[in-house]
Each structure stands twice: as structure tokens, then as C-alpha cells.
């Protein structure tokens, strides 16, 4: 998100010309400026539209702003509650001057910066624009070009794996992984019921059936002690998910998989950089899958990555993502493949994101700690899980509300204060495409009480104060 303009960047003196007004509007990039007299008192606002209309009426760039401004704009008094400010905002009114008792402009409210706080968002503070521009200028916009292989190399190094294969999103990374694990129609795959639906959907893409397992309370991830119960002669793989950035308990899972001859596909879509003991997630199972959707820790808009230490799996993955085309003979296809490629444009963003990955993770850690400092000891909330053996990452700061709290009411109250939040996923066994009988009390409880608060690297600590204040007041 771009930085909010300072108040001085929003001010036009009432004696200014149209040219000067335009220059100020151009610099603040808000499409509006506040017109004030010498005492700082608000006289009106001037917008792009006011200038356009003035020019169409024949006014010159030397005309005074007072001759074409909007003289009685929407304003708010200092101390107006945020809900009231939001109610005044619309597509047309996105910036409102805040005035004191003497009519002086002392602040401004902007929908994007002061009022609306999204639950997640990308942070582009490095070379993203430069690299994308290079793709456009050099015409390398599809999946050929230097950035795809650079992104793969940077990601493999980051995860400590031999191979990273870029694909179009996290869901197709899961689909390819299941094909690579030779999961066939009629087979079964063990998955946690508490995850995003893509984990289970991908299993159905290869004609197999997801078999659900409950969560365990310590990490909210698949309960490893219940996996063996779910294994049948048809089981081919297990997909542990590192939910909300916390690693699943991989040692016992790997042990079960080896004993039963199963493949392990890590769904690390939400956990870039998290460590299980010493190892980064994505490099512990046979295959790792990542998502680069816009709300993820590293984003390319849409995008995904498949990671593996197995040379054979990596080679087949590269063929399958590219229509099954032979690497030795162009336009020769030995197998049915897919177009699951990532574009050079997306990879360009990915390379720039990977250049800042440690800073992005650190910043998210600071945000995690700031939330925890505010909420620790509050009996109405339970903090995000943190197992001793894990180094979690902060994808979305997610808490559990006390049983008797009405979560929908809390979400609505936060919304009134301009703060987006989101409920934890519904357990997949409860939804029509995957309805399954079973006893999943932990997943159901986390799903019912879980609430994710705004978490993105460009958040200020002041915004966390604001969220926690609004949260605490919504819990009263
Ligand atoms: C756990 C999990 N798996 C898979 C996916 C799918 O990734 P994508 O949206 O990139 O297809 C997501 C998120 O979007 C996810 O959270």
C-alpha cells in the first residue's frame, strides 16, 4: 500500500492558481486538495473534476482556485468516531478534511489509509516495478525469460531444497504433486479437515478421495496420532498442511508414511520460511507446495511453486507443467500434460519479493509480537499456537475467541471501525463437495472460534494499536 500523503501535501492556499492547484493534486496523487485561507481555515476542496470542468468552461491555468473549487465540501470535526467517517465515504468521497472548532484543517481521513484496514495485502517495496518493466520493455512476458529460472533458484535456496518448479498457483502445485506421487482414481489421500478447500479439491482432480483427520490443539494442524486410523489399503499419500504459518509435526508424519509406503506432500501455501526443527518447510516431505496469491507472504499475484529433493520428480514436474512436452524433442508429447506455467512477468515480481524475503518475514514477526504484547493475558482470547519445536511464520495473525463470544458480532463491530477480519476456514468435511461423517471436534472448535486479524508487512504499529483497541471494545 502506498504511504498516506502528509497534511501539507493536501493543502492549496486560497490564492493559488489552477496551475499550482494541479501541481499539488498531481504530487499527492489523491485527486483532491483542501483549499485554506491564511489562517488555515477550510474554504473548499478542489478536485481533478473541478479543474476539468473549469477548463471546459474556458478558464485558463492562471484562474484562481477560489473561482472553481467546491465551496462546501463534506468535512468532519476532530474526534468524530471512525464509524461516522466511514458512513460519509463513498466511491466519490474518499478523502475528508478533519477540522477543529475554528474551521481549521488539522488532519484528513482517507478511506484507504485511515479508515479501511484490509486483512491482508502485498508489500512491494523493492524491485518489483523495475523487473516487471524490464519484461515489458524486452517483450519477455510469457513463461520464457530470465526471471522464471531466477525465481526458482532463489526459492530453492531459500527452502534448502534441490529443485523448485514454478507453476501458475498453489492449487495446481498440489494437483501436479498428486500426479507425481502416482495417486490414481480410486486411491485415498489423508488430509486435515481444517485447511483451505484447495488441499482436498486437488485430491479429487486425480480421481482420488480425501480422507479427513481432525486437528490437534497444540498447532491446529493434522493430528498425527489419528493418521494411522485413517490409512487403508487404498491410501497413497498424506498431505500435512502448515496452517496459518505453523509447521505440522513432521517427524511422526514422515515415520508413519515410511512405515506404510506413502508419499508426503507438504501444503506449505501459508508458511513460506517456517521451520520444523532446523528445516524449512517444503523440503521435509517428498514434495512441497507453495502459493503466491496476493495475500501470501511472498506474492506474484497468482502463482505457485513445487519443491523437491528428488531429481526424477523434478524432471517429471517440468514436463507435466508444460503440456507434457518432451525436453529432448520439441512438440513431441509422451504424456498428457497441462499448461501450469508461471509467466516471466509474475516471476519478475517473485524475484523482487525473494530479494526482500528476510525483511518481510522479520517485519511480520514484529507484527506478530506487537499483537501478542497487546493481547497476552486477556482471558477473552487465545493467542496463535507456538510449539516448542517450531519456528512459525506470521501469515495471518489468528486468535481463538472465548467460547461464549459471538464471533460474527466481533467481525461486524470491527467492520464498523473500518477493520477487515476473517473467520478461520470451515472444516472441509462439513461442506457439500466433501461431506464426510466423522468426529472432528478440535477442527470444528477452532473453526467456530478462530479469527484472523489484519496482517501484512506494510502495517504500522499504530494500526495494530487500532485493531486491538477495536477488538477489545467489540468483546465487551
Ligand atoms: C492451505 C492452502 N492450500 C492451497 C492453497 C491454494 O493456493 P492458490 O490460491 O495459489 O491456488 C491455499 C491458498 O490460497 C492455501 O491456503
- Average pLDDT of the chain? 95
Say which CATH number the domain at 291 has: 3.40.640.10
User: Which range, of 148-157, 215-224, 463-472, averages the lowest pLDDT?
Assistant: 463-472
Q: Same domain for 392 and 329?
A: no
How many structural domains comprise the chain? 3
Q: Same domain for 347 and 372?
A: no
CA-CA-CA-CA dihedral for 317, 322, 328, 333, to nearest 10: 100
Average pLDDT over residues 352-356: 98
Q: What is the 3-state secondary structure (H, E, C) of 303-338?
A: CEEEEECCHHHHHHHHHHCECCECCCCCCCECCCCC
Dihedral sign, Cα of residue 20, residue 21, residue 23, residue 27: positive
Q: Same domain for 289 and 187?
A: yes
Average pLDDT over residues 13-17: 97
Q: What's the pLDDT score for residue 113? A: 65
The answer to whether 96 and 115 are in contact (CB under 8 A) is no
Structure confidence by residue, pLDDT tens digits, 208-227: 999 999 999 999 999 999 99
Average pLDDT over residues 104-123: 87
Q: Same domain for 86 and 219?
A: no
| Residues spanned by the domain of 384 | 357-474
- Ligand 1 pocket, 143 CB below 6 A? no
Give CA–CA dist 197/288, Å, rounded: 17
- Ligand 1 pocket, 176 CB below 6 A? no
Domain end position, chosen among 297, 322, 355: 355
Burial 120-130 (b: 16+ CB within 10 A, else e): bbbbbebbbee
Q: Same domain for 56 and 185?
A: no
Atom of ligand 1 nearest to the CA of 169: 10
| Cα 438 to middle of ligand 1, angstroms | 24
6: how many CB neighbours lie within 10 A of its CB?
Answer: 10
Structure confidence by residue, pLDDT tens digits, 359-379: 999 999 999 999 999 999 999
In the 8-state DSSP scheme, what is residue 378? Answer: -
Give CA–CA dist 400/118, Å, rounded: 20
**Burial label, 330 (beta-carbon count in 10 A; 0-12, 13-18, 19+):** exposed
- Ligand 1 pocket, 196 CB below 6 A? yes
Give CA–CA dist 423/399, Å, rounded: 10
Domain end position, chosen among 333, 355, 377: 355
% of the chain residues with pLDDT over 90 = 91
Q: What's the pLDDT score for residue 111? A: 75
Dihedral sign, Cα of residue 443, residue 447, residue 450, residue 452: positive
Confidence class of residue 3 from pLDDT cuts 50, 70 and 90? low
Taking the model in full, what pTM does it have? 0.85
By most ligand atoms within 8 Å of CB, the mutation choice from 168, 171, 221, 241 for ligand 1 is 171
Average pLDDT over residues 393-398: 98
pLDDT at 76 over 90: yes
Q: How many residues does the chain have?
A: 476
311: how many CB neighbours lie within 10 A of its CB?
Answer: 10
User: Looking at per-residue confidence, does 90 or 173 come out higher?
Assistant: 173
By most ligand atoms within 8 Å of CB, the mutation choice from 167, 170, 172, 282 for ligand 1 is 170
Average pLDDT over residues 239-247: 98
Average pLDDT over residues 338-355: 98
pLDDT at 1 over 60: no
Does residue 121 lie within any of the structural domains? no
Q: Decide the pairing of beta strands 188-192 and 235-238.
A: parallel
DSSP line for 46-112: EEHHHHHHHHHTT--TTSBGGGTSBSS---EETT--HHHHHHH--SS--EEEEE-TTSBEEEEEEII
pLDDT at 151 over 50: yes
The answer to whether 401 and 449 are in contact (CB under 8 A) is yes
Amino acid at each position: 500500500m502506498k504511504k498516506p500523503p502528509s497534511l501539507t501535501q493536501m493543502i492549496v492556499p486560497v490564492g493559488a492558481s489552477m496551475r499550482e492547484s494541479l501541481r499539488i493534486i498531481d504530487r499527492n496523487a489523491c485527486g483532491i486538495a483542501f483549499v485554506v485561507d491564511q489562517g488555515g481555515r477550510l474554504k473548499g476542496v478542489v478536485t481533478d473534476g473541478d479543474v476539468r470542468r473549469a477548463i471546459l468552461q474556458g478558464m485558463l491555468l492562471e484562474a484562481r482556485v477560489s473561482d472553481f473549487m467546491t465551496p462546501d465540501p463534506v468535512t468532519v470535526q476532530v474526534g468524530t468516531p471512525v464509524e461516522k467517517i466511514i458512513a460519509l465515504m463513498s466511491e466519490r468521497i474518499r478523502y475528508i478534511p478533519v477540522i477543529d472548532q475554528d474551521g481549521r484543517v488539522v488532519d484528513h481521513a482517507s478511506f484507504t489509509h485511515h479508515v479501511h484496514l484490509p486483512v491482508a495485502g502485498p508489500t512491494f517495496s523493492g524491485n518489483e516495478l523495475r523487473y516487471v518493466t524490464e519484461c515489458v520493455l524486452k517483450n519477455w512476458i510469457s513463461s520464457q525469460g530470465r526471471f522464471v529460472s531466477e525465481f526458482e533458484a532463489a526459492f530453492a535456496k531459500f527452502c534448502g531444497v534441490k529443485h523448485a518448479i514454478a507453476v501458475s498457483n498453489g492449487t495446481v502445485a498440489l494437483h501436479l504433486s498428486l500426479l507425481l506421487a502416482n495417486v490414481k482414481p480410486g486411491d485415498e489421500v489423508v488430509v486435515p479437515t481444517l485447511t483451505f478447500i484447495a488441499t482436498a479439491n486437488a485430491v479429487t482432480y486425480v480421481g482420488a478421495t480425501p480422507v479427513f483427520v481432525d486437528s490437534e490443539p497444540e498447532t491446529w494442524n493434522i493430528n498425527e496420532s489419528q493418521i494411522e486410523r485413517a490409512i487403508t489399503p487404498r491410501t497413497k499419500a498424506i498431505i500435512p498442511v502448515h496452517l496459518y504459518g505453523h509447521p505440522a509435526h513432521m517427524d511422526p508424519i514422515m515415520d508413519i508414511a515410511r512405515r506404510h509406503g506413502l508419499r508426503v506432500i507438504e501444503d506449505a501455501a501459508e508458511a513460506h520460511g517456517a521451520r520444523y526443527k532446523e528445516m524449512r518447510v517444503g523440503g521435509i516431505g517428498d514434495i512441497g507446495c507453495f502459493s503466491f496469491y496476493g495475500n501470501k507472504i511472498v506474492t506474484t499475484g497468482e502463482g505457485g511453486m513445487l519443491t523437491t529433493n528428488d531429481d526424477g520428480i523434478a524432471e517429471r514436474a517440468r514436463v507435466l507443467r508444460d503440456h507434457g512436452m518432451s525436453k529432448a524433442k520439441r512438440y513431441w508429447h509422451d504424456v498428457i500434460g497441462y499448461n501450469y506455467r508461471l509467466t516471466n512477468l509474475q516471476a519478475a515480481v517473485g524475484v523482487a519479493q525473494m530479494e526482500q524475503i528476510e525483511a518481510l518475514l522479520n517485519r511480520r514477526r514484529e507484527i506478530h509480537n506487537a499483537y501478542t504484547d497487546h493481547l497476552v493475558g486477556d482471558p477473552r482470547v487465545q493467542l496463535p499456537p507456538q510449539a516448542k519445536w517450531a519456528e512459525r511464520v506470521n501469515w495471518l495473525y489468528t486468535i481463538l475467541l472465548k467460547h461464549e463470544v459471538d464471533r460474527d458480532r466481533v467481525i461486524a463491530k470491527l467492520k464498523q471501525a473500518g477493520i477487515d477480519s476473517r473467520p478461520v476456514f470451515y472444516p472441509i468435511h462439513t461442506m457439500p463437495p466433501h461431506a464426510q461423517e466423522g468426529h472432528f471436534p478440535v477442527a470444528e472448535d477452532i473453526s467456530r472460534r478462530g479469527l484472523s486479524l489484519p496482517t501484512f508487512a506494510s502495517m504500522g504499529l499504530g494500526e495494530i494499536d487500532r485493531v486491538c483497541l477495536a477488538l477489545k471494545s467489540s468483546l465487551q
